Amino acid sequence: MMEIKPIRNDADLMAALAEVDQLIEGDPELGTPAGDKLDVLATLIEAYESKNYPVDKPDPIEAIKFRMEQGGLGVTDLVPLIGNSNRVYEVLNGKRPLTLRMIRNLNRELGIPATALIA
């Protein structure tokens, strides 16, 4: 029988995470008791963490700068996606908002999620 307790505090969270680690090592199949227990624990952990440790959505400009850093990209690499270098600097400095065309280009060419670019 599956025994699962609510996660009410960080100690409960740590215990649930330890149990998830053990379950994952067994690589349980979905639909099995261990697989179901893993699924339920993951849901409880996610609910507790989102309530107690909310994560702010990324800032669009920070998302672009992060991708630039990851890919070793410079301003000139963004010109075809955003516009001339002045426009790129304006966007990166927060002086010009991203347009729908820019968002589409950044999403398609750099793989930045559109949800991270829409703020």
Position 55 confidence tier, pLDDT thresholds 50, 70, 90: confident
Position 118 confidence tier, pLDDT thresholds 50, 70, 90: confident
pLDDT of residue 54: 87
Cα 58–60–61 angle (5° rounding)? 115
What is the domain class of 60-117 according to CATH?
A: mainly alpha
Q: Does the structure show a pLDDT above 60 at 1?
A: no
pLDDT of residue 16: 93
pLDDT of residue 17: 93
pLDDT digits (tens, 9 = 90+) for 15-27: 999 999 998 888 8
| Residue-wise DSSP of 4-52 | -----SHHHHHHHHHHHHHHHHT-PPTTSHHHHHHHHHHHHHHHHHHHH
For residues 29 and 24, what is the distance between their CA atoms, to the nearest angstrom? 10
pLDDT digits (tens, 9 = 90+) for 62-85: 999 999 999 999 999 999 999 999
Domain ranges of the chain: 10-52, 60-117
